[in-house]
Amino acid sequence: MKKIRREDLLSLEEYSQKRDEIRANAMEHKSKRRLNIGENAFLYFEDYTTMYYQVQEMLRIERIFDSAEIEQELDTYNPLIPDGTNWKATFMLQYDDIPTRRAALGKLLDIEDKIWVEVEGCKRIFGIANEDLDRKDPEKTSSVHFLRFELPGEAIQLAKNGAQIKFGIDHENYRHEVIVPDNVRAALIEDLD
């Protein structure tokens, strides 16, 4: 898949002028790349468009215009764009209030290692979590993790040919699975070579 290059980015001034339109398009795009797994867990599947928006927002918020710092942002976010043989996602645990969230995160240690995808006709594939940095804490899990689901060729072909795709979590305190709806499925197929 295409990665973000320095020349793809808008200057801070250009981005400011086009931000509302870019943001609206990015939010519409992201809505087709979100998958709820149960009530409190969500996968947000990343791609060029989601990461482009993220980089432009980071440059804007941090007022980054130095070439070396821009390259650092690209080095941070480009690895989250799928490579054609995988799906990459931000995994989030969301709870309504802080005390509930703290208690839940304490019961969900290592949940990031229990998230799987299953393409009909293939074995379950567990995501590879947090390759960017270690988020381990002996008392609680983080509410945000980054995952890569590396797919064998057979799973890619079956998915492209219409096989059902399921994602799930197999943690002792959080067991859910969901069939990927058609709109998310279509977005995921676009991520595959």
Q: How far is the C-alpha of 127 from the C-alpha of 43, rounded, in Å? A: 11
CATH of the domain at 90: 2.60.40
Q: For residue 171, what is the enclosing H or E element?
A: strand 165-171
Report the pLDDT value the prediction gives residue 137, as an integer from 0 to 100. Answer: 82
Are residues 137 and 177 located together in one domain of the fold?
A: yes
Are residues 128 and 109 located together in one domain of the fold?
A: yes
How many domains does one find in the chain? 2
Packing angle of the helix pair 182-190, 153-160 (nearest 10 deg): 130
Residue partners of 51: CB distance under 8 A and separation at least 6: 4, 77, 78, 80, 81
Are residues 99 and 182 located together in one domain of the fold?
A: yes
Are residues 77 and 112 located together in one domain of the fold?
A: no
Report the pLDDT value the prediction gives residue 1, as an integer from 0 to 100. Answer: 78
Mean pLDDT of 97-101: 95
Are residues 125 and 135 located together in one domain of the fold?
A: yes
Are residues 21 and 108 located together in one domain of the fold?
A: no
Predicted confidence (pLDDT) per residue in 138-168, tens digit: 889 999 999 999 999 999 999 999 999 999 9
Mean pLDDT of 101-122: 96
- Is the confidence at residue 133, as pLDDT, over 90? no
Mean pLDDT of 40-49: 98
- Is the confidence at residue 135, as pLDDT, over 80? no
- Is the confidence at residue 136, as pLDDT, over 90? no
Residue 131's pLDDT band, with cuts at 50, 70 and 90, is confident
Are residues 71 and 111 located together in one domain of the fold?
A: no
Are residues 143 and 58 located together in one domain of the fold?
A: no
Predicted confidence (pLDDT) per residue in 81-95, tens digit: 999 999 999 999 999
Report the pLDDT value the prediction gives residue 155, as an integer from 0 to 100. Answer: 98
- Region label for 22, one of left (φ > 0), alpha (ψ between -120 and 50) or beta (otherwise): alpha
DSSP 8-state code for residue 7:
G
Residue 120's pLDDT band, with cuts at 50, 70 and 90, is very high
Are residues 75 and 106 located together in one domain of the fold?
A: no
Burial classification of residue 100, based on how many CB atoms lie within 10 Å of its CB (0-12 exposed, 13-18 middle, 19 or more buried) = exposed
Report the pLDDT value the prediction gives residue 132, as an integer from 0 to 100. Answer: 74
- Is the confidence at residue 126, as pLDDT, over 90? yes
Are residues 27 and 74 located together in one domain of the fold?
A: yes
Are residues 38 and 125 located together in one domain of the fold?
A: yes
Predicted confidence (pLDDT) per residue in 178-187, tens digit: 999 999 999 9
Domain that holds residue 171: 34-45+82-193
SS3 111: helix
Cβ–Cβ under 8 Å, residues 126 and 116: yes
